Structure 1
Amino acid sequence: MKRIKCIVVDDEPLAVSLLGSYVEKIPCFELVFSTENPIEALEYIQKNDADLIFLDIQMPELSGINFMKIVGDKLKYILTTAYSEYALEGYEHNVIDYLLKPISFGRFEKSALKAQERFPTNEDSTNSYFFVKSSGQQHKINFDEILFVESIKDYVNIKTENQEYIVLDTLKSLENQLPENFARVHKSFILNLDKIEKIDVRNVFLNSGKEIPIGETYKSEFFLKIKK
């Protein structure tokens, strides 16, 4: 799983703190730098790697629009501002999303999902594990230990052979992070194909005893995948 290195730039200290706390709640995000000064951010970017920046548009030292003109396509951008009239100008610079203050975590999470979909997921395909944030800690989970992943409202439950991890994430995001031997079989379930014991037309039975329904939307693609 690729960790998306994030920067937060906003001239308001409370906004920097809030966005930084939001970034740390997204399992595949890593907050590498935050500042109230866009010039400091430019200096950081010149010397360090980063992937995604949460960038305020209206700042006295350097506007977010001019910041993007300087940095160019080295980074991907999510713009933040209290002024809705900047939205169109921001989108002309091909940013991922535009967040209007005050920013709720629910709205931020939707933006985070958009960002995850813009980053390649196969760079670390040879890895046998990934890290997820659960109960305030980062947990290393081996892919071959996962039985299934279940959506539970705003969270997902990653069930392994010995434990379960409740993670603030979406099934779509997890689906992009898991290797080829995992399949979405239902709007609420992703399962490990290596853990299947038997299948009928409506259900998958895992060797752990868990019975998982096959959703009509996913049936054709699922059966095609297991035939391969």
Structure 2
Amino acid sequence: MKKIKCMIVDDEPLAVSLLRNYVEKIPFLELVFSSENPVEALEFIQKNEVSLAFLDIQMPELSGINFMKIVGDKMKYILTTAYSEYALEGYEHNVIDYLLKPISFDRFNKSIQKVQERFSFNETNEPHHFFVKSSGQQHRIHFNEILYVESIKDYVNIKTAAHEYIVLDTLKSMENQLPENFTRVHKSFILNLNEIKSLGSKKVILNSGHEVPIGDMYKSNLLEKLK
């Protein structure tokens, strides 16, 4: 299971500290943001990807319920509060579970099991292939077969170990169709990260022996994804 990017939003510093400690114990959770200020959290969401929020319901500047109304279905939520009467209202939104303070690690862990089930379900229902038109025919290509995609003027070359598919499309369109293990490494290349054998300063060598150039402006993002 890939890591789930999560945030903690709670106006109580001790609650933030406790939840941060709990999150760090779960291998597939990646804490990308925590704050006592829900407005700061909204600003972070506008610029960054977050899939799960541990969200306090009762906060002075902006309640958790209103926070969810603003953000909508961009993420899922585990609600935290000292007041059980808010539970029913919370479940009207994209909520996985409800944690009543004080939160024990055992109860937290039960919520995380629900998170794991929900996100694993989503992953198994993601497509594993797409169809492209090349040489007058429709071809089904499995994502894990692709080594890289290269831009050639108005076309792209989808390279697999066995075939090349020349398709009338753009590299930007390909980026939007391919899963997260693909990333842009050059103005003309998208690479399957699972195919990397070795990484140099100017090029990537794939398991197949193919070499793909690395553009200077894409190198830092590539290194970040390989961590």
TM bracket (short chain)? 0.5 to 0.7
* Conserved 8 A contact 1:2-1:121: no
State the alpha-carbon separation in 2 of the partners of residues 71 and 58 from structure 1: 17
- Once the two structures are superposed, the pairs formed by residues 199-210 of structure 1 within 5 Å of their partners are none
1:8 corresponds in structure 2 to 8
- Give me the whole-angstrom Cα distance separating, in 1, the residues matched to 2:98 and 2:51: 17
Which amino acid in 1 is paired with 2:113? Answer: L
Query: Residues of 2 paired with 1:21 and 1:94: CA distance?
Result: 24
Q: TM-score, normalised by structure 2?
A: 0.53
Task: Give the 5 Å matches for 1:18-37.
Answer: 18-37=18-37
Alignment check: 8 A CA contact 1:9 1:16 kept: yes
The equivalent residue for 2:81 is: 81
Superposed CA deviations along residues 36-78 of structure 1, whole A, max 9, x for unmatched, are 0000000000000011000000000100000000000000000
Q: Distance in 2 between matches of 1:65 and 1:78?
A: 12
State the one-letter code of the partner of 1:31.
L
CA positional deviation for 1:117: 1.1
* Aligned twin of 2:63: 63
- Whether the aligned pair in 1 keeps the contact of 2:73 and 2:94 (CA below 8 Å) is no
CA distance in structure 2 between the aligned counterparts of 1:113 and 1:24, rounded to whole angstroms: 15
Counterpart residue number, 2:38? 38
Q: CA RMSD in A?
A: 1.8
Q: Deviation per CA, 1:69-123: give whole Å up to 9, x if none.
A: 0000000000000001111111122410000000000000000110111113346
Matched position secondary structure for 1:118: helix
The SS at the match of 2:32 is strand
- What residue is the counterpart of 1:223 in the other structure? none
Distance in structure 1 (CA, Å) of the matches to 2:88 and 2:49: 28
Q: Which amino acid aligns with 1:73?
A: D
Q: Please tell me whether the aligned partners of residues 77 and 96 of structure 2 are also in contact (alpha carbons under 8 angstroms).
A: yes
> Structure with the greater relative contact order (CA < 8 A, sep ≥ 6): 1 or 2?
1
Who is 1:202 aligned against?
none
* Contiguous gaps of at least 5 residues in structure 1: 128-228
Residue equivalent to 1:100: 100
- Alpha-carbon distance in 2 for matches of 1:46, 1:12: 23
Whichever residue aligns with residue 24 of structure 1, its letter is E
Give, in angstroms, the shift of residue 27 of structure 1: 1.1
Unaligned runs of 5+ in 2: 129-142, 145-227
Contact 1:6 1:29 in 2 (8 A): yes
Assess if the C-alpha contact under 8 Å between 2:2 and 2:28 holds in 1. yes
CA contact (8 A) 2:58 2:64 kept: yes
What percentage of aligned pairs have identical amino acids?
80
Q: 2:94, 2:9 → 1: CA distance?
A: 18
SS of alignment partner, residue 79 of structure 2: strand
One-letter code of the match for 1:100?
L
Runs of 4+ in 1 over 3 A off after TM superposition: none
Q: 1:166-205 to 2 correspondence within 5 Å?
A: none
Paired with 1:6 and 1:20, the residues of 2 have a C-alpha distance of 10
**Equivalences, count:** 127
Distance 2:104 2:29 in 1: 17
- TM score, norm. by length of structure 1: 0.53
1:121 is matched with which residue? Answer: 123
Partner residue in 2 for 1:72: 72
1:78 maps to a residue whose letter is: I
